Amino acid sequence: MDEQRLKKVSKYLSKHLRHQPDRIGITLDPHGWVDVDDLLRAVAAHGFPVSETELAEVVADNDKQRFSIVDGRIRANQGHSVAVDLDLPPIEPPAYLFHGTVAAVLPSITADGLRPMNRHHVHLSPDRETATRVGARRGRPVVLSVDSGSMHAAGHVFYRSDNGVWLVDHVPPAFIRLP
Ligand code: HQG
């Protein structure tokens, strides 16, 4: 499968496994899983057929690891806006994590801290390179450092998704360092 098709399938699956399962008539279980067979039937019925081989390739995509397949069921590893409980165990973060964003939202971030916006959690990256890529989706990237070690010491609970994205409910301004 070429890069372009891979990206298209990945985006289509993200849309329905994270945000709008109803749109193609699938129902996610409380932890976000749906039967692979049901998913493939639903996408075909909605004019976007995906083969099993293509699905396997998207899931194996080393770049992002957006999805997991376990026992014939698939789910998005993170990034949901629909209510799902990913059942991730709390885990101690490294001393610093990073957040890639753009200059336009800095006044609001400085005032309110980092908010989950449309997702369930604030997403943080383990390194500057990843955060730079995340920020670059929106324009010229600005990378903020988050004092995750102090946050953890202060009782904030961190999780790490299966594809290595760090998740937390909120990052208060006091723990954010501007570049
Ligand atoms: C910003 C991609 C105003 C925040 C990536 C970001 C990531 C605020 C935007 C994943 C704010 C939310 C997540 C505040 C935060 N005021 N703006 N108080 N707090 N923001 O897309 O972190 O391709 O929901 O800086 O790789 O950009 O989906 O979050 O610009 O891992 O697999 O509000 O999405 O992965 O945007 O990206 P998003 P994100 P996938």
Ligand 1 in reach of 106 Cβ (< 6 A): no
- Alpha-carbon distance values, 75 to 17, 43, 82, 99, 116 (Å): 6, 15, 12, 24, 20
> pLDDT tens digits for 14-30?
999 999 999 999 999 99
Nearest atom within ligand 1 for CA of residue 119: 24
Q: Is the CB of 42 under 6 A from ligand 1?
A: no
Q: What is the pTM of this model?
A: 0.88
> What region, left, alpha or beta, does residue 157 occupy, with left being phi > 0 and alpha being psi -120 to 50 degrees?
beta
Instruction: Report pLDDT for 4.
Output: 94
Cα of 144 from ligand 1 centre, angstroms: 12
For position 106, what pLDDT does the model report?
A: 98
pLDDT of 62 higher than 70 = no
Q: What is the mean pLDDT of residues 129-140?
A: 97
Decide: 105 in ligand 1 pocket, CB within 6 A: yes
For residue 116, the Cα-to-chain-centroid distance in whole angstroms is 11
Residue 21 neighbours by CB under 8 Å, 6+ apart: 27, 28, 34, 82
Atom of ligand 1 nearest to the CA of 78: 32
Residue 1 has pLDDT above 90, yes or no: no
Q: Is the pLDDT of residue 61 over 90?
A: no
Ligand 1 and 22: CB distance under 6 A? no
Q: What is the 8-class DSSP label of residue 94?
A: P
Q: Averaged over 98-109, what is the pLDDT?
A: 98
Averaged pLDDT of the chain: 95
For residues 133 and 100, is the Cβ–Cβ distance under 8 A? yes
ipTM of the shown complex: 0.96
* pLDDT at res. 96: 98
Q: Whose CA is nearest to atom 7 of ligand 1?
A: 134
